[in-house]
Structure 1
Amino acid sequence: MQSTLRELQGLSRDARFWTVLAVIALIVGLVGPFGTYQVLAVAPRLAYWAVVVLGTALTGTLVVGFIEGVLRPRLNKYLAALLAGALPGPLLAAMVALINIAVFGPGVTSFDLLTLGIYCTLISAAVTLVSAVLERPAQPDPAHAPPALLERLPRPQRGTLRRISVADHYVEVTTDKGSSLVLMRLSDAIKETAPIEGLQVHRSHWVALDAVRRSTRQNGRPALELDDGSIVPVSRTYIAAVRAAGFPA
């Protein structure tokens, strides 16, 4: 429900959402479907359809979004959309019926309510299904993509990247799930750490900034202590960069 409310809040700030609703309300207000053209003048008819379109759109978005969020992990995307659109039909029909009673008086028959329920259910289901069909696949966020370097590791070691160290002709890549040797140069390995923020602190060592617990000294020389307890030396060449990253060396 919280994610649905956030989505609704996002739509409420989207000018395109309100523009679409305004255009729909204007079109149906001018056309006057379901007999409203004959019984209402232009201004009242536009106002009536504005209330109907706005009320059903906001209510439908909230209810459909919640139901679809529950159904999508369990059902096919399009079946979930169809059911999520159909289930709120009676609620939307009741809302339109109340608006009709307020505008036209309490002369709504059970047949009218049944017909209204069928129309609302079919329209809501159709709109939700079409939205699912036209929905663009979610694009991966590069800022949250795993580092390419992890693809070189055995699956059991693919975790949160902590540090990289030179080991002869290999680099030892350490994650929160263990370490593995990869045949490549340190410079090439560092290029594949993005989007993890890290820093080369020695000609043989690179560390992820999130893994650094504090700066320290080892045998009188500057070093960094990582959250796994390991100590990584800092060479004189990289002291300025380490200090700039917020770790006094």
Structure 2
Amino acid sequence: MNSVFVNYRSSDEEASATLIERELSARFGADEIFRAGKSIRPGEDFERALLRAVHRCDLLLAVIGPRWLDAPGAAGGRALDDPDDWTRREIAEAFAYGITVVPVLVGDAGRLPAGSLPEDIAPLERCQYRRLNHRNAEADIELLAETVAELVPGLARRAPAAEEKAGGRGRNTFNGQARDVYQAGTVNEYRYGGIGSVSAEGGTVIGSAHGPVHTGSGDQINGTRVNGPQFNGGGVNYVAGDVKDGGRLNADVHDRRGSRERGE
């Protein structure tokens, strides 16, 4: 079932309608957001699919750009004056079924003048709107998503936001305080200068280390020690793992010449 129907005119703001649908799908789930170009399967009766989707939705978003009101129809004249114009029919069906309609004014599109619409969609002139300005798209989309969640309460954040997916930001508690935490993938990249920073893109970067680096638990073993390792050569770097069984080193050892031996 599609909870939100995205209505638009292809000759006006189709790209904006696609952006709205994709952003809302990312937040609430693709199956909850209907857009004709995405949601109608090949070979399906598009008229039945459109009417069924309108009748079953809880909210219709009417995407309105600067060309929406006066866009010409296929037979000449204004498209909105044709009773078979699908942009008009979808909105009219929503009003007839008591479905909430929210105009989304794109760019420089202004409010619809009183008396400018056919009678079956005239209530659209009085509907409170939201705006999408591409110079402020992130904030406008977020406000629109909040409006959708408010008007369709059961829809609220059914799918994780993009920032909470793998490699993104989340929340965790450290020493009793909530902190932002980042989950990062593995990055294989040479960086000169030692330890780098933690970020959403990278994680902790260790590069060009010229001494022992400890990443496990237990004591760090450096140099000569009874029953411990002694490594000689052209500037050996090694990574110590967990130290167990009386100080035996469980780690791989690399030298700068590319040789490799296993510490036991």
Q: How would you bin the TM-score normalised by the shorter chain?
A: under 0.3
Instruction: Work out which structure has the larger RCO, using CA pairs closer than 8 Å and 6 or more positions apart in sequence.
Output: 2
* Higher helix fraction (1 or 2): 1
TM-score by length of 1: 0.27
TM-score by length of 2: 0.26
